């Protein structure tokens, strides 16, 4: 836990701890990191050893997903087109982390431009799951999740556009939170789909997730969607007595692995034994969520990624020719197959004659999905479901079947469409692979979600399990 680490560091050596982490990373087979900020991190650790700070994360190393801007450290989104790009500024969340004394130790691998469910589309090669090196860690924040689960970093930041924090948290057996849209500033997050994405923490325990949220949440004038709200640890240990939990009937049954469903129902029974009650609810428009999500996400991606042309920064190939030829060659060689696929589909959905048929219709479906959640939260306090319908699959098993990869996001994308918070935490195993329990709350209902997660964690041993294969 971060609180225990903070207590140990002043008595020991932040430099020594950090050097051990770097040594472990260099020997690792996980491929969780794309770069290490050794020089700056060790310099900061030496300063801490001389004069321990009093910030909430003073002396604590943290790993940062590749798409979050870090001043002086390359931020390439695991894409060839941005190799060599070093931001001249920090993202808002990095500013907050540094203000509380955290040490940025390096950048973590991800699906290229956060487009994926497996961290296989990275230009740096796939990240491996620490529970089974032949399997994916989930995506797109797979590097962040794998390094925490594998003991290479005590905590990390990821981003969640359609499950990119919760999916790898589930597959790697750790805690991952997708906050309410607007609670954490997106300033400095390289945009994929602006209306869907949020930065969120990946940690070993619920308490650590709450601590990181206390640091990174809050208003930022540079993000027009930033809410004028912060985050408090108040109520985290109040338990679940009297809590009403909704079980969406659409999130169980067909397509859900039997062992995953069993582990989640056992978790619900545990919460019931702790004093909560549950009832079935319906989110009737769930069946349209994936289609609506991918139309919206790809449309926004095609617009956002138009800025990457290699003319001002990033990849440059051959000799310059006319603008159209140069632009096409740079993007052809710079983007991977999945990014190209999403740009093409998004451009098509936004094109004349199809905007109303696809994009506008998807926005209307999004409103219906948001209404489903609002109606459900009139009956219950939180919702519970599997995070992912299956445990981690093997590397290469689905990468050539994009539809099956997209289908794996069926329980995570509705949360991003609705803008509500959701946490994934370990609740059992399917064979030797972790299973994640997803708890969802109303807008700015992080306290209820994390409070229930904390109660479950204290009553079960799953968060203490560590992978043997790393």
The residues that are catalytic are 65, 140, 164
Q: Mind giving me the DSSP string for 161-223?
A: SSSTTHHHHHHHTSEEEEPPTTSB--TTBPPS-TTT-EEEEEESSHHHHHHHHHHHBS--TT-
Helices 258-273 and 446-459: angle between axes, nearest 10 degrees: 100
Buried b (16+ CB within 10 A) or exposed e, 18-28: beebbebbeeb
φ/ψ of 443, rounded to 5, equals -50, 130
In the block, tokens 């801490």 appear at 48
Q: Mind giving me the DSSP string for 36-69?
A: E-HHHHHHHHHHHHHS---STTTT-EEEEETTB-
CB neighbour list of residue 258: distance below 8 Å, 6 or more residues apart: none
Distance, in Å, from the CA atom of 422 to the CA atom of 116, rounded to the nearest integer, reads 19
Distance, in Å, from the CA atom of 9 to the CA atom of 55, rounded to the nearest integer, reads 13
The dihedral built from the CA positions of residue 147, 151, 156 and 162, taken in this order, carries a sign that is: positive
Distance, in Å, from the CA atom of 128 to the CA atom of 470, rounded to the nearest integer, reads 9
Which residues are bridge partners to 244 per DSSP? 277
Buried b (16+ CB within 10 A) or exposed e, 97-136: bbebbbbbbbbbbbbbbbbbbbbbbbbbebbbbbbbeebb
The tokens for 106 are 């390096």
Which residues are bridge partners to 16 per DSSP? none
Count other C-beta atoms under 10 Å from residue 45's C-beta. 22
Task: Provide the terminal-to-terminal Cα distance of the chain, rounded to the nearest Å.
Answer: 20
Distance, in Å, from the CA atom of 201 to the CA atom of 147, rounded to the nearest integer, reads 13
The tokens for 299 are 């449309």
CA nearest neighbour of 22 among 47, 41, 44, 43: 41
Based on DSSP, count helices (H) and strands (E) in the chain, helices before strands.
Answer: 15, 11
């Amino acid at each position: 836990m971060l609180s225990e680490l903070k207590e140990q560091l002043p008595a020991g050596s932040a430099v020594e701890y950090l050097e051990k982490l770097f040594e472990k990373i260099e020997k690792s087979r996980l491929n969780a990191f794309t770069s290490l900020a050794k020089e700056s991190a060790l310099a900061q650790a030496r300063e801490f050893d001389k004069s321990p700070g009093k910030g909430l994360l003073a002396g604590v190393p943290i790993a940062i997903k590749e798409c979050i801007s870090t001043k002086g450290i390359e931020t390439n989104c695991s894409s060839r087109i941005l190799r060599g790009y070093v931001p001249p500024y920090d993202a808002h969340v990095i500013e907050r982390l540094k203000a509380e004394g955290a040490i940025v130790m390096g950048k973590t691998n991800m699906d290229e431009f956060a487009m994926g469910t497996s961290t296989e589309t990275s230009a740096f090669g796939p990240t491996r799951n620490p529970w089974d090196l032949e399997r994916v860690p989930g995506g797109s924040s797979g590097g962040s999740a794998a390094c925490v689960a594998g003991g290479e970093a005590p905590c990390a930041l990821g981003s969640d556009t359609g499950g990119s924090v919760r999916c790898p948290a589930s597959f790697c057996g750790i805690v991952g939170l997708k906050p309410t849209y607007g609670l954490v500033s997106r300033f400095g997050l390289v945009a994929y789909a602006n209306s869907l994405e949020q930065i969120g923490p990946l940690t070993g325990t619920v308490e650590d997730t709450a601590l990181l949220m206390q640091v990174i949440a809050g208003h930022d004038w540079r993000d027009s969607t930033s809410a004028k709200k912060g985050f408090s640890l108040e109520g985290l240990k109040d338990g679940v007595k009297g809590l009403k939990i909704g079980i969406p009937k659409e999130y169980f049954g067909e397509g859900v692995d039997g062992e995953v469903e069993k582990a989640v129902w056992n978790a619900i029974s545990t919460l019931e034994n702790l004093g909560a009650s549950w009832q079935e609810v319906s989110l009737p428009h769930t069946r349209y969520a994936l289609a609506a999500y991918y139309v919206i996400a790809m449309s926004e991606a095609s617009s956002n990624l138009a800025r990457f042309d290699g003319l001002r920064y990033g990849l440059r190939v051959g000799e310059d020719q006319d603008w159209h030829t140069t632009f096409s060659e740079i993007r052809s060689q710079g983007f991977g197959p999945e990014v190209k696929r999403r740009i093409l589909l998004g451009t098509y959905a936004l094109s004349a004659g199809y905007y109303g048929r696809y994009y506008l219709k998807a926005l209307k479906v999004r409103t219906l999905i948001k209404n489903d959640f609002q109606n459900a939260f009139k009956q219950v306090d939180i919702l519970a479901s599997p995070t992912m319908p299956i445990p981690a699959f093997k590397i290469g098993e689905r990468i050539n079947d994009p539809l099956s990869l997209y289908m794996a996001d069926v329980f995570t994308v509705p949360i991003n469409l609705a803008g509500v918070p959701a946490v994934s935490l370990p609740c059992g195993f399917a064979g030797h692979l972790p299973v994640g329990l997803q708890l969802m709350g109303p807008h700015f209902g992080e306290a209820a979600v994390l409070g229930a997660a904390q109660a479950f964690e204290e009553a079960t041993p799953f968060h203490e399990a560590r992978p043997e294969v790393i």
